[in-house]
């Protein structure tokens, strides 16, 4: 909940910047059930100009994330879900929320395996293009690096999705050299 309070009263966004922005693209890594993304959308409504929230985890979490997001459709306008890539299946479904917020906000639910980026031109790349080519303004996640083996692939995903002004708020269970490096690189005062 501390992350949610930080997002609600963001010291990293000045009022002049909010007025000038077209909107913030946010990415949640390792979402689990989608709850943190829903909290972000609810608390940011009419305060932070969110344009898009991409909620990601492994494929076995997609149904639960969809259920959580769909139960809270009053905090977004459009929800898109990308199913894991399969050559014969339809990969995308779109649903419209109740749109109880002022700005247009799209939620995208998608699979992302940390450190895995399909090669350009592959069928899998076409499916994941929306996720793979984008740079995000805000990347967040809770309880992500609970094993040392996850650090390198998490950092690889952070490097893929960040630009020089991206703010990353990543909750970890243990402190290590890898997470300290990531914090130093991406935390901007």
Longest dimension (CA), the chain: 48
| 89: number of Cβ within 10 Å | 9
Please report the pLDDT score of residue 146 as a whole number. 75
Please report the pLDDT score of residue 58 as a whole number. 94
Please report the pLDDT score of residue 41 as a whole number. 92
Reported pTM? 0.76
With H, G, I as helix, E, B as strand and everything else as coil, classify residue 169: strand
Alpha helices in 61-150 (DSSP H): 62-71, 123-132
In a structure prediction context, what are the per-residue pLDDT tens digits for the chain, which is 189 residues long?
A: 555 555 555 555 555 554 455 689 999 999 999 999 999 998 887 777 889 999 999 999 999 999 999 999 998 888 888 876 554 444 556 666 665 554 578 999 999 999 988 766 655 555 556 677 789 999 999 988 777 888 899 999 999 999 988 999 988 765 554 545 555 444 443
């Amino acid at each position: 909940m501390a992350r949610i309070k930080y997002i609600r009263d963001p010291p990293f966004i000045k009022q002049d910047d909010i007025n000038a922005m077209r909107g913030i693209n946010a990415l949640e890594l390792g979402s689990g059930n989608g709850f943190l993304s829903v909290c972000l959308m609810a608390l940011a409504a009419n305060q932070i100009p969110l344009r898009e929230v991409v909620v990601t985890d492994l494929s076995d979490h997609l149904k639960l994330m969809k259920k959580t997001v769909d139960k809270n459709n009053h905090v977004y306008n459009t929800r898109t879900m990308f199913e894991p890539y399969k050559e014969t299946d339809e990969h995308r479904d779109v649903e419209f929320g109740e749109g109880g917020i002022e700005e247009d906000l799209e939620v995208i639910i998608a699979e992302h395996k940390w450190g895995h980026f399909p090669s350009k031109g592959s069928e899998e790349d076409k499916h994941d293009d929306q996720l793979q080519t984008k740079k995000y303004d805000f990347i967040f996640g809770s309880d992500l690096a609970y094993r040392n083996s996850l650090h390198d692939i998490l950092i690889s995903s952070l490097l893929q999705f960040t630009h020089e002004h991206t703010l990353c708020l990543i909750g970890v269970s243990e402190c290590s050299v890898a997470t300290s490096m990531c914090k130093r690189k991406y935390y901007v005062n």
